[in-house]
Structure 1
Amino acid sequence: MFRPLSLLIINISKHNVASQIKYSTAILPRLSSEKYNIKRKSFGTINESDINHFRSILSENRVITDESDVLPYNIDWIKNCRGQSKVVLKPKTTDEVSEVLSYCNSKKLAVCPQGGNTGLVGGSVPVFDEIVLNFSLMNKVISLDDISGALVCEAGCVLENLDNYVRQHNLIMPLDLGAKGSCHIGGNVSTNAGGLRLLRYGNLHGSILGLEAVKADGTVIDCLRTLKKDNTGYHLKHLFIGSEGTLGVVTKVAVHCPAVSKAVSLGYFGVNTFEDVLQLYRNAKISLGEILSAFEMADNRAICSTVKNLKLTNPLEDYPFYVLIETSGCDEEHDSEKLNRFLSKEMESGHIIDGTVTSEPAKMRTIWNIRENIAEAGLHDGYVFKYDVSIPLNNYYDIVLLLRKKLEGKYTNIYGYGHIGDGNIHINVTVPEYSKEVCDMLEPYIFEQVAKLKGSISAEHGVGFRKPQFIHYSKDESALRLMKDLKHLMDPNGILNPYKVLPDV
């Protein structure tokens, strides 16, 4: 039966939890170069004269060289990758970024662009001694047209701050992520981030109206337009969207923000089988139509891990699968009628066993917290192998069952959760500590299984440092050759985010 949500669920800040996990122990992850047997490329080595030059461009307090201060910028938040950078630069303007890159290019000094450092594939931290170019101080909103919904801002703006800002003008950001309290919009664009609202608003690249980026040689590429329609030549902005800072560094972004929905409801349901999950999604698309804004799934182990490790409260009893369905519209009476009619039908058919529905913002937030904290909860169990793949829906959950069988006796937990609406499943494999044996059992096995189904080895988190050697499972040789040609054209010295995205061989 359905019931109002009455249980208290602790509201956990993504940023705070990540910070606590990241620095709760003095044990540092192994250096990425050693862990993955990577050899340093023939880049220049930074010296005191370089440091002094950067200080002349920026200022003393925006050139960080103290080892303890630099350390956090060398480690990704899931403690998988660790670089060896000696300096972090914090520009405030595009001109400063241009000067820094121009100098680095002339000296062949490698650079690692970094936003909120919330990525899961090591793309935002150095591998060796690359200079970290951190965008946290480029965090200004430049303009907002509340008629067209065009927001222009700097790359270092935190996603949640932008969402709060545009909501004051009855708009929302088209992107919603579990890491929204920490991630930067520039990083979101550079990885073409997906997230919870993709079912309603599509991939982020469809919402990017324009951008400004700086090439490796310091050239500023101005594609910062706010028009939805502009068919004048090549769509150059798409070169930078999803390129993870390897072709140029995004400094400003123009985003189309849709109108905020006046009527939003969230349902959280217990489901018996994955076949019921799929049937529920099929029926939701038909019955809810234009008001369906999110359809999320998590298996029992994923929810139990979150509830146990983060001391949350699950408002439902134990079920094999859980589904979150969000509706967003402009007519509360009309939308409520559609939703109730749909839920009554699905309860009668047995696709939904139990659930709760709410339209109160605070209660919706508590339910979303259970789903959004799954990624962080696994870190409490030790080391987590995280995979972000897209698979045809009929085979969506099969990979979880295959991995449990293949790794029997080798893991603490294996679970799957993600975005049914776009075929993106997140697979977490937890072990007490990093194991080369388990890693070899997982990779490339998991990518081979995805390739057999013509899926993608990276659905929304990018390729980064962890997946270049596996990119051929999703891109054929002709596509890879073109990508390498573009890289050589735009960054001939290869200084931008080396060791990321493209394989060396």
Structure 2
Amino acid sequence: MSSRSEAITCEFCIALQVRVLYCITGASSLVLKPKTTDDVSRIMAHCDKRHLAVVPQGGNTGLVGGSVPVFDEVVLSTALMNKILDLDEISGVVTCQAGCILETLDDHVAERGLAMPLDLGAKASCHIGGNVSTSAGGLRLIRYGSLHGSVLGLEAVLASGEVLDCMSGMRKDNTGYDLKQLLIGSEGTLGVVTKVAILCPSRPAAVNVALLACNSFADVLKTLQKGKAMLSEILSAFELIDSASMMAVEKYLHLRNPLSSGEFYCLIETSGSHAGHDEEKLTAFLDSVMEEGSVCDGTVAQGITQQKDLWALRERVAEALLREGYTYKYDVSLPTRHFYDIVVDMRRHLAGAAVLGCYGYGHVGDGNVHLNVTTRQYDADVGHRIEPYVFEWVRGRHGSISAEHGLGFKKRDFIHYSKAASAVAWMKRFKTLMDPNGILNPYKTLPE
């Protein structure tokens, strides 16, 4: 097989990027499925010696082409590296291979009264190695924080085949540089994650889910602020669904919205160890926001079935929009006060274009908005009107152009909208140091 890591012309890069900007597809002549770290080490040493480019691939659930081969790279799948190696019930640390499916891990630790600190809509298929490599955020980041805090240990294979052992189960370890942090979120460009040790919190004994309706985004912000203050330690999720997204879920998926009206809907989850205590706090919070008028309607789920029904209204928005037509998806992070402004401004910016709808939903509790635009079919004019306008808009509010899906291939050339030139230059130096032949997930994350 010839090398795929050689430099390509700028013209060809531009042509390829236009082809896959909104619809990432790829092909490879070879897919390898190692079972052990040693297998990965031997594969990488072989490929590095022959300058064969390699794309690490987990559950392939990303949205920016990070795990897709661009020029017939060798695909290195972690699908068979799916062993749970250890679970320390006292410390709450689970150690596993990178190919373990997130939902499988959660089911396993649940048997010991623990929970994975990460929860995603794609949990039934995404791999923990991919989650770590993209520093996935998810639905409960407001409660458990990011993977930069939850991942205590990590093992990875570098481009040369050398195994970087940063495995540890310690919450406190102040010995030298914390090298694992460099690999978390590196999207497989610095090393192939093979093992992880993750700190799991106790599984909540009491869970409550409420859906609240607000008439304005200002009311949403008041409700969020009040929720953080009054629910504090039991607040595990605070999600937003705008009225357009809610109508799409009702229209295309035939799900039922239990509330009569609202411009915005807040899905709130609390989780704790004492049902009576949590219900008392939730009731006091609901009474307060209803009395002050920031919430105009609301309902609290009665039982697990209703909880799942309410969560479906939020988790299945993306699915509903795919039923409407072609979807342009943007995962950005903004100061909370600007969370919905981007949707309002994008609607104004796209006025007159062949757009079916512009939608905003997501993790308002941590500032991560999912901006979606739909058309009947892919429309190049709409695509070019959105980009780079959306990234310029985010930069103007000091946000991030990628909140939880990484940069991959689609966003790599826009990294300067979120990172200073000096920071990007140092990223390139790290890349050159750790992967001098440029074989690990080329054409991703960093611009040419």
The aligned residue for residue 414 of structure 1 is 358
Deviation readout 1:357-379 (Å, 9 max, x if unpaired): 12522221121111111122211
Residue aligning to 1:38: 16
Question: Unpaired segments of 5 or more residues in structure 1?
Answer: 1-32, 40-75
Aligned: 1:280 with 2:258: no
For residue 427 of structure 1, the aligned residue among 368, 371, 375 is: 371
User: Which piece of structure 1 moves more, 143-152 or 305-314?
Assistant: 305-314
Question: Residue 203 of structure 1 is aligned with which of 135, 139, 146?
Answer: 146
Q: Quick one: distance in 2 between partners of 1:370 and 1:165?
A: 27
Q: What's the counterpart of residue 437 of structure 2?
A: 493
Partner SS, residue 287 of structure 2: helix
Structure 1 residue 318: Cα displacement: 3.7
SS at match of 1:422: coil
> 2: distance between equivalents of 1:179 and 1:374?
13
Of the structure 1 ranges 97-106 and 358-367, higher mean CA displacement relative to structure 2 is found in 358-367
Q: How does 1:353-364 map to 2 (within 5 A)?
A: 353-358=296-301, 360-364=303-307
Is the 1:264–1:359 Cα contact (8 Å) retained in structure 2? no
Could you tell me whether the CA contact under 8 Å between 1:158 and 1:182 is conserved in 2? yes
Q: Secondary structure at the match of 1:250?
A: strand
Aligned residue in 1 for 2:416: 472
1:352 Cα shift? Answer: 1.3
Instruction: Tell whether 2:109 aligns with 1:166.
Output: yes
Other-structure match for 1:121: 64
Partner of residue 150 from structure 1, selected from 93, 107, 115:
93
What does 1:189-268 correspond to in 2, within 5 Å? 189-268=132-211
Aligned length: 435
Q: Please state how far the C-alpha of 1:350 moved relative to its aligned partner.
A: 1.5
Where 2:16 maps in the other structure, the secondary structure is coil
Relative to 1, partners in 2 of residues 1:79 and 1:170: Cα closer, same or farther, differing over 3 Å?
farther
Q: Which stretch of the first structure deviates more once superposed, 353-362 or 160-169? A: 353-362
Matching residue within 393, 397, 405 for 1:453: 397
- Per mean C-alpha deviation after superposition, the further-off stretch among 395-404 and 370-379 is 370-379
**CA offsets per residue over residues 179-216 of structure 1, 9 Å max, x none?**
11111100000000001110001111110001110001
State the distance in 1 between where 2:260 and 2:326 align.
28
Q: CA separation in 1, counterparts of 2:79 and 2:171?
A: 28
Contact 2:259–2:298 (8 Å) recurs in 1: yes
Contact 2:301 2:310 in 1 (8 A): no
Letter in 2 for 1:475: K
Instruction: State the Cα distance separating 1:219 from its structure 2 match.
Output: 0.6
Among 427, 437, 440, the residue aligned to 1:483: 427
Aligned AA (2:250): V
Picking from 225, 245, 264, the partner of 1:302 is 245
Distance of 2:309 and 2:67 partners within structure 1? 30
1:35 Cα shift? 9.8
* Superposition TM-score, scaled by structure 1 size: 0.84
**Which residue is equivalent to 1:370?**
313
Structure 1 partner of 2:7: none
Aligned to 2:4: none
- Where in structure 2 are the equivalents of 1:297-336 lying within 5 Å? 297-336=240-279
CA distance in 1, matches of 2:13, 2:283: 53
State the AA in 1 paired with 2:76.
L
Structure 2: 5+ residue runs without aligned partners? 1-10
Task: Please state whether the residue corresponding to 2:372 is helix, strand or coil.
Answer: strand
How big is the alpha-carbon RMSD for the aligned residues of Structure 1 and Structure 2? 1.6
C-alpha displacement of 1:311:
2.5
- SS across alignment from 1:327: strand
Partner of 1:68: none
Distance 1:383 1:288, change over 3 A: same
Alpha-carbon shift at residue 79 of structure 1 (Å): 8.0
* Stretch deviating more after TM superposition (429-438 or 472-481): 429-438
Q: Choose the corresponding residue for 1:102, options 45, 65, 71.
A: 45
Is 1:345 matched with 2:288?
yes
Contact kept, 8 Å, 1:166 with 1:172, in 2: the verdict is: yes
- Whole-Å separation in 2 of the counterparts to 1:308 and 1:87: 42
Name 1:64's counterpart in structure 2: none
2:22 and 2:328 in contact (8 A); partners too: no
The 2-side partners of 1:416 and 1:306 are apart by 13
Alignment partners' CA distance in 1, 2:337 and 2:86: 44
CA distance in 1, matches of 2:14, 2:124: 30
Distance 1:297 1:463 in 2: 24
TM-score, normalised by the number of residues in structure 2: 0.94
Q: Distance in 1 between matches of 2:423 and 2:343?
A: 29
